[in-house]
């Protein structure tokens, strides 16, 4: 077996260098801990970027995947498959929406949402100059459509021209959204809680205001729940806490808890007036293995009362993080919702804190330019919060 040094060398020799990776090679996991190739133990407050909600080595989850592998892994969307039917029912019922389309990633879910919005508007007026309003400081993915609605000039610039008709407004500023609305606007897309941009939850009044604008002008409201969805904020989907429902929701990350899968989910109005056979497709999307994972994830969420657990543990995490804000000059503020929290680091690069934490056996990641992001598995207990805090204190 390779050690970390050999693994790093081989990776850098053969894998396109698009990531500056942390210098550890993770080999296995148990619960909320990960182990590298040398057997060093890490407390995981990153969860593979908000993916591994159930903790590592969940026997029930692993067994469901093994069973599905032995039955069938792939069939294609030319046929019906059993796990797809089950997974779809669970996503639709959990969201109270109407229809789902499974993808392989988050960015593809965004592509589907954009196509849905354009088709919905096109059916009304057959125009081909529809516009989408997106938010500054947002993140929706790296494929060209998703990148086009990602409000980050640095990510966009080298890849222009992007798709046309995209306008940007300020997150949590309803007036700035209103200013961008025209008779060609077909959708407003936003994250319920901005993740990569630095952990900014939407203000309730803002989200309700966007919903009202969309209703007034028959514009589709697209909520990107790829990072903040699937229980992370304490409800199955973050918008469920706000008393609004989107017309289109995108999901990925924790949807399959490690199996690559995403989805876009439509309400009835949108499902009945948008994509039809021939409009959209995918070879892998909704495949039996991915859907067996999705289906099992929803079962485990119900059985282990995951959202209830998040609501129980999150106030404790917030309290402990707020203590750091009080205690350390280098921690300017805390922002977040549920188990999606950020600490604003000042006076030193956030990367320095992250590197020190890794050295002390704690995995945390950044968001934006100066935010330390905490997105642990949703099954963490108070003792793990305490352990995280005591390691972080050594790094501040």
Q: Establish whether 299 is a catalytic residue.
A: no
> Nearest distance from residue 244's CB to ligand PLP, in Å?
17
> Nearest distance from residue 342's CB to ligand PLP, in Å?
13
Q: Which is nearer to ligand PLP, 229 or 234 (CB)?
A: 229
Find out whether 45 and 374 touch, Cβ atoms under 8 Å: yes
The reply to whether 309 sits near ligand PLP by the rule CB under 6 A is no
Which of these is catalytic: 45, 168, 206, 253? 253
**Residues 6 or more apart whose Cβ sits within 8 Å of residue 362:** 42, 43, 45, 388, 391, 392, 395
Q: In whole angstroms, give the CA distance from residue 231 to residue 228.
A: 8
> By three-state DSSP, how is residue 280 classified?
coil
What are the structure tokens assigned to 27, written together? Answer: 């080999």
Q: How many CB atoms lie within 10 A of CB 161?
A: 7
First-to-last alpha carbon distance for the chain, in angstroms, is 36
> Nearest distance from residue 108's CB to ligand PLP, in Å?
7
What are the structure tokens assigned to 238, written together? Answer: 């973050």
Q: Establish whether 170 is a catalytic residue.
A: no
Query: Quick one: which segment of 57-65, 68-76, 103-111, 375-383 binds ligand PLP (CB under 6 A)?
Result: 103-111
Which of these is catalytic: 36, 224, 247, 370? 224
Secondary structure letter of residue 151 according to DSSP:
B
Please report how many Cα atoms fall inside a 13 Å half-sphere around the Cα of residue 67, on the Cβ side: 11
Query: Quick one: which segment of 104-112, 266-274, 342-350, 384-392 binds ligand PLP (CB under 6 A)?
Result: 104-112
* Closest by Cα among 315, 314, 316, 353 to 331: 353
What are the structure tokens assigned to 389, written together? Answer: 């805090």
Site for ligand PLP in 197-226 (CB under 6 A): 224, 226
Give, in order, the Cα–Cα distances in Å from 221 to each of 161, 210, 214, 370: 25, 8, 6, 30
Q: In whole angstroms, give the CA distance from residue 156 to residue 144.
A: 9
Q: Which is nearer to ligand PLP, 375 or 380 (CB)?
A: 375
Q: Which is nearer to ligand PLP, 259 or 388 (CB)?
A: 259
Q: Which is nearer to ligand PLP, 61 or 264 (CB)?
A: 264
The reply to whether 195 sits near ligand PLP by the rule CB under 6 A is yes
Find out whether 314 and 339 touch, Cβ atoms under 8 Å: yes
DSSP string, 29-70: EEBTEEEETT--EEEESSHHHHT-TT-BT-HHHHHHHHHHHH
> Nearest distance from residue 3's CB to ligand PLP, in Å?
29
Q: Which is nearer to ligand PLP, 227 or 307 (CB)?
A: 227
Chain position carrying tokens 């990531």: 19
> Nearest distance from residue 18's CB to ligand PLP, in Å?
12
Q: Which is nearer to ligand PLP, 111 or 387 (CB)?
A: 111
**Strands 220-224 and 365-367, sheet pairing:** unpaired
Q: Count of residues binding ligand PLP (CB under 6 A)? A: 15
Which of these is catalytic: 45, 101, 102, 139? 139
**Strands 200-201 and 193-194, sheet pairing:** antiparallel
Site for ligand PLP in 105-164 (CB under 6 A): 105-107, 139-141
Q: Which is nearer to ligand PLP, 37 or 367 (CB)?
A: 367
Q: Which is nearer to ligand PLP, 252 or 259 (CB)?
A: 252
> Nearest distance from residue 51's CB to ligand PLP, in Å?
9
Site for ligand PLP in 258-287 (CB under 6 A): 262
Query: Quick one: which segment of 57-65, 72-80, 160-168, 191-199 binds ligand PLP (CB under 6 A)?
Result: 191-199
> Nearest distance from residue 360's CB to ligand PLP, in Å?
26
Q: In whole angstroms, give the CA distance from residue 243 to residue 381.
A: 29
Q: Establish whether 139 is a catalytic residue.
A: yes
Cβ-proximal residue to ligand PLP, closest one: 106
> Nearest distance from residue 249's CB to ligand PLP, in Å?
11
Question: Largest Cα–Cα distance in the chain?
Answer: 61
The reply to whether 252 sits near ligand PLP by the rule CB under 6 A is yes
Give 251's strand partners: 263
Q: Which three-class secondary structure string do you get for 256-289?
A: CCCCCCEEEEECHHHHHCCCCCCCCCCCCCCCHH
Q: What residue ranges bind ligand PLP (CB under 6 A)?
A: 105-107, 139-141, 191, 195-196, 224, 226-227, 252-253, 262
Catalytic residues: 139, 224, 253
């Amino acid at each position: 077996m390779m050690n970390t040094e050999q693994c790093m060398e081989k990776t850098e020799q053969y894998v396109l260098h698009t990531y500056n990776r942390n210098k550890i090679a993770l080999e296995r996991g148990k619960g909320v801990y990960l182990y590298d190739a040398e057997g060093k133990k890490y407390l995981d407050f990153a969860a593979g970027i908000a993916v591994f909600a159930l903790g590592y080595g969940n026997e029930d989850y692993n067994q469901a995947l093994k069973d599905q592998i032995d039955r069938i892994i792939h069939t294609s969307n030319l046929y019906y498959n059993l796990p797809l039917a089950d997974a779809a029912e669970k996503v639709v019922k959990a969201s109270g929406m109407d229809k789902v389309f499974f993808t392989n990633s988050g960015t593809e879910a965004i592509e589907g949402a954009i196509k849905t919005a354009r088709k919905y508007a096109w059916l009304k007026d057959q125009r081909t100059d529809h516009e989408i309003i997106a938010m500054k400081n947002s993140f929706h993915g790296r494929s060209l459509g998703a990148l086009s609605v990602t409000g980050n000039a640095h990510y966009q610039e080298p890849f222009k021209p992007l798709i046309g008709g995209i306008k940007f407004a300020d997150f949590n500023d309803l007036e700035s959204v209103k200013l961008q609305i025209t008779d060609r606007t077909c959708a407003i897309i936003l994250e319920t809680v901005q993740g990569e941009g630095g952990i900014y939850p939407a203000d309730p009044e803002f989200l309700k205001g966007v919903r009202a604008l969309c209703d007034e002008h028959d514009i589709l409201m697209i909520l990107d729940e790829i990072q903040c969805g699937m229980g992370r904020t304490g409800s199955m989907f973050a918008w469920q806490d706000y008393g609004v429902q989107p017309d289109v929701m995108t999901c990925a990350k924790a949807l399959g808890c490690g199996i690559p899968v995403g989805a876009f989910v439509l309400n009835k109005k949108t499902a009945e007036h948008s994509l039809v056979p021939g409009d959209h497709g995918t070879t892998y999307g909704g495949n039996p293995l991915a859907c067996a994972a999705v289906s099992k994830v929803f079962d485990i969420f119900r059985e282990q009362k995951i959202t209830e657990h998040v609501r129980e543990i999150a106030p404790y995490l917030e309290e402990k993080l707020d203590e750091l804000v009080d205690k350390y000059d280098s921690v300017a503020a805390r922002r977040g919702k549920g188990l999606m929290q950020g600490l604003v680091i000042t006076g030193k690069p956030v990367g320095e804190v992250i590197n020190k934490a890794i050295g002390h056996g704690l995995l945390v990641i950044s968001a934006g330019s100066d935010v330390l992001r905490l997105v642990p598995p949703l099954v963490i207990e108070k003792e793990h919060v305490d352990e995280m805090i005591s390691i972080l204190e050594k790094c501040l």
